[in-house]
Amino acid sequence: MSEFPSTHNEFSSSNDPAVGGIAADRLRSIIERVERLEEERKGLAGDIKDIFTEAKSAGFDVKVIRQIIRLRKQEPAEVEEQETLLDIYRRALGM
């Protein structure tokens, strides 16, 4: 029964009240920590959105800024190679 913490059972004498044979406090702690971190992630997503709103107000193109951020994550040599290929493919297609 891998689903049940082996160190806790119905007869557990630890301080963790076991309900139905599981470590209730441990489970609650896990869930609350995940929820807290998810809240923080949502906060960061909001902060990022605010910066893009600021960028737009300042007259920048948000889609282009996102493209810049993607390019900065890649190696310069890789970016250059892909841009060369993109040019070749476009010319081949008459674009």
Residue ranges binding a second copy (CB under 8 A)? 2-7, 19-24, 26-28, 30-31, 33-35, 37-38, 40-41, 44-45, 47-48, 51-52, 54-55, 58-61, 63-65, 67-69, 71-72, 82, 85-86, 88-93, 95
From the CB of 24, what's the least distance to a second copy, in Å? Answer: 4
Nearer of residues 77 and 92 to a second copy, judged by Cβ: 92
Distances from the Cα of 56 to the Cα of 17, 43, 48, 50, angstroms: 53, 20, 13, 10
How are the residues of the chain apportioned to helix, strand and coil, as percentages rounded to the nearest 5? 65, 5, 30
